[in-house]
Amino acid sequence: MQTRILSTVLLAFSTAAFAEGAFTLQFDNPSKDGGFTQNQLLSAPYGFGCSGGNASPALSWKNPPAGTKSFVLTVYDKDAPTGLGWMHWVVADIPADARRLPAGITAQGGRLPKGALQTRTDFGTPGYGGACPPEGRKHRYEFTLTALKVAKLPNITAESTPALVGFFTKANSLGEAKFTVEHRR
């Protein structure tokens, strides 16, 4: 197993955000090599061949763009053998005053900031689904936090698809903070 953080990409479209410092997102308490811990990998019941704890990682951020009213977090595997990638986690309506997500957020939303909502992923249900690439392959997991100009995305529920959340997220974006974790098993 090999993991590491590939890069931090900063995209903030507000002059005020740059004046205060760049909008950044970080992986709190990663493994020794900067990536996923065993506890954050997909668990065996999903049937993909991994035996992790399927626990969401702790994340934190700073310097969101001026005018931010909420955030959306996504974790996306662009290398999944689907032709479309794989959405591992979607959290919408994170309050503007939040600056972190704790580790171990449950599928039912336990430990989420008040008002935040997990929506469906490509596993078919809301909640975090850990990394589990095919053996011998390295995948890139892109963590993106988008600052929004609205306090709540319209028409989004726990059953909303990642594509629908993505549409309303892009339509209301003020800026993004990203990093990528590589993982091989």
Residue 16 above 90 pLDDT? no
Going along 70-171, which residue ranges are E strands?
A: 70-77, 86-95, 100-101, 117-118, 138-148
**What band does 31 get if pLDDT is binned at 50, 70 and 90?**
confident
Rounded Cα distance, 97 and 149, in Å: 13
- Write down the pTM of the prediction: 0.89
Summarised one tens digit per residue, pLDDT across range 49-98 is: 999 999 999 999 999 999 999 999 999 999 999 999 999 999 999 999 99
Residue 180 above 50 pLDDT? yes
Query: Average pLDDT, stretch 23-43?
Result: 91
Residue 30 above 60 pLDDT? yes
